Structure 1
Amino acid sequence: MDTDAVLDLVREVVAEHVTPRFGRLSSTDVSSKRRPGDLVTVADREAEVALSAALRAAHPGALVVGEEAVSADPALLRGLPTADHAFTVDPVDGTRHFVAGSPDHATMLAELRHGVTVRSWIWQPQHERAYVAERGSGAWADGVRLTSGTAGRRPLRPTGTCCGVDYPRLASGRAGWAAYLKQKPWDHLPGGLLLAEAGGRVRRHAGVLLALSPSASRPA
């Protein structure tokens, strides 16, 4: 599938399975995973199934690694670094925000070739913003290219909502940095590529993942 077709797929799946449940979840629609407070909803599960099925149909042989599938079977994650072709799926990033009725959530995909992220998609349905990145070709917000000059010299404020909101804020210069202890691939591969293609960077230090905006990545 070409880049625009994948974005269309994400929008369609979210419109069918996620958005209709925003602000309308019942108590039976929400449960906890392995850890208390680590929430999953019926929207997460249904959207992941739909996205994964469509990606497998369009790309036979590709490994599709979804957050909820890995939660049920952690062994699925082992093949990701060595797969010739793979996708990660985060059906609702920021599930706690989604459950609480906050618009700060997103659906994210990343495509990998031989362990390297080559394309990514982030769709924020309540903000109606789409972010796409292609390795070596650039990053875009709603079709407008993001560059290292987009941000200018703004105050380097931190951000800390969810990865599907944080990384676009960093890439567009609306925040300066973010730090993460949790480092799951479906959380960080989509935004990491977006940020890198916009001129920012991601690095690890003492077990912490640091994401820096283009402004924060420049010499003082």
Structure 2
Amino acid sequence: MSTAQVLEIIQQVADEVIRPRFRALTSDQIAEKGPGDLVTIADRESELRLTEILSHAYPDALIIGEEATAANPGLPPHLVGAEHGFTIDPVDGTKNFVNGSIDYAVMVGEVRHGRTVRAWIWQPEHQVAYVAVRGEGVTRNGEQVVRAQPSPDPAQWRGRSARVVIREREADAALPQISISALCCGVDYPKLVTGETDFLVYGRPRPWDHVPGLLMVEEVGGTGLLTDGSTYVPGVDGFGMVVGATGSVAASVRDALGARLGTRPTRTQPE
């Protein structure tokens, strides 16, 4: 399938399955997979639709969706050695979706031999599509994205995170105060790609959350680093990741955060 065709399918599924439920969910259409981890009928039905379409087009590809992984937690590691695979986050930012916030997204990533090669982020209520093809850059609604270089002064960098332990850190000369994220990777990553943010700090690098956005970041010169300093690989497990507009930004933030980066949250705190 062409890159444009995949985007059209994502948009169609969003229009038919997700958007009709936006601000119209009933209580029986919302459930908890775990403490504070919501899932809705829109998540489940849209993932099934996207999985069926991609599986039909690519019968040998490994499909790893967020909701499928909830039922089979052993799926993500298989992505590391897969010849071909896709990640699906049917409604990224489910809490936002449930609360009526327009900051949610549909995300799909394509991986071949351990490298992300194509990525799609569709923000249905914003009507904005970000698309990346490895080696060809990133587009926003068809227009090429050119990101300005971050300031050479770390005190001027703009960072975001959902993690309480990260945001509680006092600002200093090495790093400014870190703001709360949009609680949606499909909104946060595009802000980094377009230059509104300079770095992001995350907990567990779940593939459906990070595969699409990280390719886009890489295409504008950035990178994602794990706690040990290694570059993120689709499907790898662990805890603690910094995504920076450049490799030096990511490394500097990782060094400044130190042990906080790998500190796991309590069950009531976001990752």
Instruction: Calculate the TM-score normalised by the size of structure 2.
Output: 0.76
How far the C-alpha of 1:167 sits from its partner, in A, is 0.3
SS of equivalent to 2:45 = helix
Residues 1:30 and 2:52 are matched in the alignment: no
SS of equivalent to 2:5 = helix
1:181-212 deviation per Cα after TM superposition (whole angstroms, max 9, x unaligned): 12100000100001110122211235421111
Structure of larger gyration radius:
2
Residues 1:213 and 2:245 are matched in the alignment: yes
How many aligned residue pairs are there? 218
Q: Which residue of 2 aligns with 1:10?
A: 10
Q: Which residue of 2 aligns with 1:169?
A: 191
Q: Structure 2 CA distance, aligned partners of 1:81 and 1:182?
A: 16
Asked whether the 8 Å contact 2:38–2:95 carries over to 1, the reply is: yes
- Aligned AA for 2:71? A
Q: Structure 1 CA distance, aligned partners of 2:203 and 2:226?
A: 10
Aligned pairs for 1:179-190 within 5 A: 179-190=201-212
How far the C-alpha of 1:40 sits from its partner, in A, is 0.2
**8-17 vs 203-212, which moves further:** 203-212
How far the C-alpha of 1:216 sits from its partner, in A, is 7.5
Root-mean-square deviation (CA), in Å?
A: 2.1
Asked whether the 8 Å contact 1:153–1:215 carries over to 2, the reply is: no
Asked whether the 8 Å contact 2:150–2:245 carries over to 1, the reply is: no
Q: Structure 2 CA distance, aligned partners of 1:46 and 1:14?
A: 10
How far the C-alpha of 1:152 sits from its partner, in A, is 6.7
How far the C-alpha of 1:148 sits from its partner, in A, is 3.5
Q: 1:70 to 1:217 in 2, by over 3 A?
A: same
Aligned pairs for 1:53-202 within 5 A: 53-149=52-148, 155-159=156-160, 160-161=181-182, 162-202=184-224
- Aligned AA for 2:210? H
How far the C-alpha of 1:122 sits from its partner, in A, is 0.2
Q: Structure 1 CA distance, aligned partners of 2:157 and 2:207?
A: 25
- Aligned AA for 2:241? L
Q: Structure 2 CA distance, aligned partners of 1:134 and 1:39?
A: 31
1:125-146 deviation per Cα after TM superposition (whole angstroms, max 9, x unaligned): 0111100111111111111112
- Aligned AA for 1:13? V
Asked whether the 8 Å contact 2:199–2:249 carries over to 1, the reply is: no
Unaligned residue ranges in structure 1 (runs of 5+): none
Q: 1:215 to 1:209 in 2, by over 3 A?
A: closer
Instruction: Calculate the TM-score normalised by the size of structure 1.
Output: 0.93
Q: Structure 2 CA distance, aligned partners of 1:186 and 1:7?
A: 16
1:140-187 deviation per Cα after TM superposition (whole angstroms, max 9, x unaligned): 1111112233x6759532231211100000000011211001210000
SS of equivalent to 1:92 = strand
SS of equivalent to 1:18 = helix
1:52-94 deviation per Cα after TM superposition (whole angstroms, max 9, x unaligned): 0000111121111110001011122232111111000000000
% identical aligned pairs: 44
Q: 1:208 to 1:19 in 2, by over 3 A?
A: same
- Aligned AA for 1:2? S
Q: Structure 2 CA distance, aligned partners of 1:66 and 1:15?
A: 19
Asked whether the 8 Å contact 1:83–1:113 carries over to 2, the reply is: yes
Asked whether the 8 Å contact 1:133–1:194 carries over to 2, the reply is: yes
